[in-house]
A and B are shown apart, each in its own frame.
Chain A
Amino acid sequence: AQSVTQLDSHVSVSEGTPVLLRCNYSSSYSPSLFWYVQHPNKGLQLLLKYTSAATLVKGINGFEAEFKKSETSFHLTKPSAHMSDAAEYFCVVSDSGGYNKLIFGAGTRLAVHP
Chain B
Amino acid sequence: DAGVTQSPTHLIKTRGQHVTLRCSPISGHKSVSWYQQVLGQGPQFIFQYYEKEERGRGNFPDRFSARQFPNYSSELNVNALLLGDSALYLCASSSTTGRVVEQYFGPGTRLTVT
Residue contact A49 to B42, C-beta cutoff 8 Å: no
CB-contact partner of A106 in B41, B98, B106, under 8 A: B41
Residue contact A43 to B42, C-beta cutoff 8 Å: no
Residue contact A49 to B45, C-beta cutoff 8 Å: no
Binds A, one of B48-56, B61-69, B73-81: B48-56
CB-contact partner of A49 in B31, B102, B107, under 8 A: B102
Contacts of A100 in B (CB 8 A): 31, 33, 48, 94, 97-101, 103
Provide the main secondary structure of the chain A interface: loop
Residue contact A102 to B103, C-beta cutoff 8 Å: yes
Whole-angstrom CA separation of A100 from B45 in the bound complex: 10
**Shortest Cβ distance from residue A29 to the other chain B in the assembled complex, whole angstroms:** 9
Q: What interface size band does chain A fall in?
A: 20 to 34
Contacts of A106 in B (CB 8 A): 41-42
Contacts of A90 in B (CB 8 A): 42-43
CB-contact partner of B100 in A94, A99, A104, A107, under 8 A: A94
Contacts of B90 in A (CB 8 A): 43-44
Find residues 35-68 in chain A having any chain B CB closer than 8 Å to their own CB. Answer: 36, 41-46, 49, 51
Per-residue interface assignment for chain B, residues 12 to 48, with 1 indicating a CB less than 8 Å from any chain A CB and 0 otherwise:
0000000000000000000101010000011111001
CB-contact partner of A107 in B41, B55, B98, B102, under 8 A: B41
B-side residues, CB < 8 A to A, are: 4, 31, 33, 35, 41-45, 48, 50, 55-56, 58, 90, 92, 94, 97-108
Could you write out 26 A-B pairs with CB less than 8 Å apart? Answer: A32-B99, A32-B100, A42-B107, A43-B108, A44-B92, A46-B103, A90-B42, A90-B43, A94-B99, A94-B100, A96-B99, A99-B31, A99-B48, A99-B56, A99-B98, A100-B31, A100-B48, A100-B98, A100-B99, A100-B103, A101-B33, A101-B48, A101-B56, A102-B43, A103-B45, A104-B43
